[in-house]
Chain A
Amino acid sequence: MDRVMANSVVTRAFCLTTGTARSRIHFFPSAGTTAGHYPVVCEVTVFGKGIERRSVQLDGGRLNQPDGIRLEDAFPALVNETSGICGIEVGLSSPQGRINLLSSRLVVEVVSPHYTLSYGAARFSIAGEKPAESDASAVEARLRPQPIGVSMYDDKCTPSLVIVNPTKDLARPEFRHIVRGEEAPLHLGTVAPESVVEFPLEDTLTKSGVRRQTLWGESIVEKMWSEASALDASVECYLLLRDPETRQPFSVCAI
């Protein structure tokens, strides 16, 4: 079996853009147990509804050396261009062909006068074109874990599903959940090419979910899942928790 080259990797996440919120991204190029400070190039791309897709390349990165940028410094036009949610794609690559960057990490931080949100992005995967199905090792290396999540609604949190679609195709996220003991499709919408959509789950949960008493009060907790093959490997799914009263986000979990 041919060895899959993983010296060029990519992950996708999102940030919240409002008049007062500012975003930073922090990346850590890592090659598992490989020591040394080989050069690593980082390319950051932003996209979203009403946002022109654009990229910046950050030179000077080194393996095992964390670094970060303010998104508004890298993309000054972002401040005036959008209000809502935008997609981020971060690619890391090393000219050293034998370095496997799959264990690299990305942290997204959103800071506003009212809240601070930081979360770990989905794991990096191999960048580049979709491999041929005959190339079993490359296909296996690109397999995503099956998205399995929990949506949780109580007096402290209300959940949303955030779908990041960096592709040029329309994405139709096919999630399933349980309604009255039976498996049923979770009705979400579509996600336009190169955009990010937040699907609030509060209505679905309060209509069909079972209320239960917990130590923190009355709560609805429901599972949801998708077949790994039902989503393009480039499409990332995140659970976002907001405060039900202020609607401020406080937790994000990649699923």
Chain B
Amino acid sequence: MLENSVVSHFWVAAPPFCSSTILVSSTALESATSRILAQCAVYDLAGALVRDFEVEFPANEVGVLELEPFLTGLKTQSGLAHGHVVIRSSEGTRHFCRQQVGEHTDLISSPKLFKSREMAFVPLLLGAGRAHLLTFVNTDSSAGQVVVRLLYSNRSPEFTIDLPAKGSRVVSLEDELLSTFDDHSWRKGVMQGYVRISPRVQSSVLFQVIEQYPGEGENQVKYRTLLSW
């Protein structure tokens, strides 16, 4: 086990929907031959450990860890195989994730973990053919819950989502949450809204929103990561 290590958690999904590469960067060289050890663990959506492995790379390079070969054991939820990866490396390093969702590539810095009753928010536009996938990861070893509140117009419906220990969930905002709410005004036109999430119990949660939006062609849809904290 690495002492004084830096630990990051990233939500990951299997191709073709998503492709993820972890990048490990560090500061000055101790010596030209020094090496950096990174310990990785991949968990499926139910929180079961799928893989754990170690990689070592020269300290004067960025450690590039392509996750695709390690995601083959992920379980599928609504046609999407997803889970999360935990990466641990020595103090003075920093982790990034090059995440490609659809055609959209993003560089994500180590996401913030929101602990019990802390709040995160993401601005989004409702309507006009857009749809949103909310992705949650519970990094805690006990089951947790997260409260999702959508604020738009003068409405603020609230939903509770259960998260398995070390597991992840992908929830469609429009199809799974808003369709159960009695107001459908958001379907007309385009409306600015905010998603506010707050973990319940002693959970430690990371949160990301993926937007599905109409492409140029008929029936074509595109995806992009709207925001990852």
| Chain B interface size range | 35 or more
Tell me which residues across on chain B come within 8 A of A222, comparing CB atoms.
62
| Chain A residues whose CB sits within 8 angstroms of the CB of B186 once the complex forms | none
Residues from chain A with Cβ under 8 Å of B191 in the complex: none
B66-A250 in contact (CB<8A)? no
- B14 CB to closest chain A CB (Å) equals 13
Q: Which of A1-9, A13-21, A102-110, A160-168 contacts B (4 or more CB under 8 A)?
A: A102-110
What 0/1 pattern do residues 105 to 118 of A give for CB contact below 8 A with B? 10101000000101
Alpha-carbon distance between A118 and B225 when the two chains are bound, in angstroms: 9
Produce 1/0 per residue, A175-188, CB < 8 A to B: 01010011100000
CB distance from A157 to the nearest CB of B (A): 6
User: B117 touching A66 by the CB < 8 A rule?
Assistant: no
User: In this complex, what residue of B is CB-closest to A148?
Assistant: B94
Is the CB of A189 closer than 8 A to any CB of chain B?
no
Cβ–Cβ contact B119 & A64, under 8 A? yes
Q: A215 to B19, Cβ gap below 8 A?
A: yes
The answer, among A26, A150, A183, for a CB contact under 8 Å with B123, is A26
Closest to B104 in A: A250
The answer for the CA separation of A152 and B64 in the assembled complex, in Å, is: 11
Q: Report the minimal beta-carbon distance from A100 to chain B, rounded to whole angstroms.
A: 12
* Contact of A66 with B104 in the complex, beta carbons under 8 Å: no
Contact with B along A221-237 (1 / 0, CB 8 A): 11111000000000000
- Sort chain A's interface into a size bin: 35 or more
Closest-by-CB residue of B relative to A156 is B105
Measured between beta carbons, the chain B residues less than 8 angstroms from A120 are 227-229
Residues of B within 8 A of A212 (CB): 64
User: Do residues A214 and B66 form an inter-chain contact, with CB atoms below 8 A?
Assistant: yes
Known contacts A109-B123, A214-B64, A32 near B118 by CB under 8 Å: yes
CB of A66 within 8 A of CB of B109, answer: no
A89 to B108 CA separation, bound complex (whole angstroms): 23
Contact B229 A150 (CB under 8 A): no
Chain A residues with CB below 8 A from B25, complex form: 148-150, 223-225
A119 at the interface (CB under 8 A from B): yes
Nearest A residue to B196 via CB reads: A66
Cβ contacts under 8 Å, B121 to chain A: 26, 28, 66, 105, 107
B118 contact set on A, CB distance < 8 A? 30, 32-33, 103
Measured CB to CB, the closest approach of chain B to A70, in angstroms, equals: 10
Report yes or no: B19 in contact with A216, Cβ–Cβ below 8 A: yes
Q: What string of 1s and 0s marks CB contacts (under 8 Å) between B1-40 and chain A?
A: 0000000000000000001010101111100100000000
**Chain B residues, CB < 8 A from A103:** 118
Provided the pairs A33-B118, A241-B107, A255-B109 are in contact, do residues A223 and B29 lie with their beta carbons within 8 angstroms?
Answer: no
| Cα of A212 to Cα of B106 in the assembled complex, Å | 19
B109 and A253 within 8 A (CB) = yes
- Give the distance in Å from the alpha carbon of A235 to the alpha carbon of B48 in the complex: 43
Q: What chain A residues lie within 8 Å of B23 (beta carbons)?
A: 150, 152, 221
Within 8 A of A (CB), among B116-141: 116-123
| A78 on the B face (CB < 8 A) | no
Q: Tell me whether A251 and B28 are in contact (CB under 8 A).
A: no
Query: Considering only CB atoms, which chain B residue lies closest to A63 in the complex?
Result: B119
Contact A30 B119 (CB under 8 A): yes
State whether A254 touches B123 (Cβ < 8 A).
Answer: no
Contacts of A32 in B (CB 8 A): 117-118
Given contacts A28-B119, A32-B118, contact A152 B19 (CB under 8 A): no
A250 touches B106 (CB 8 A): yes
Q: Is A131 an interface residue, CB under 8 A from the partner? A: no
Q: Which residue, of B68, B116, B121, has the highest number of chain A Cβ atoms within 10 A? A: B121
A57 within 8 Å of B (CB atoms) = no
Flag if B120 contacts A105 (CB, 8 Å). yes
Q: Are A183 and B107 within 8 A (Cβ)? A: no
Task: Give 20 pairs: A residue, B residue, CB < 8 Å, sorted on A.
Answer: A26-B121, A28-B196, A64-B196, A65-B151, A105-B120, A107-B121, A107-B227, A148-B25, A148-B93, A150-B107, A152-B107, A157-B105, A176-B28, A178-B29, A181-B32, A212-B64, A215-B66, A216-B21, A223-B62, A241-B107
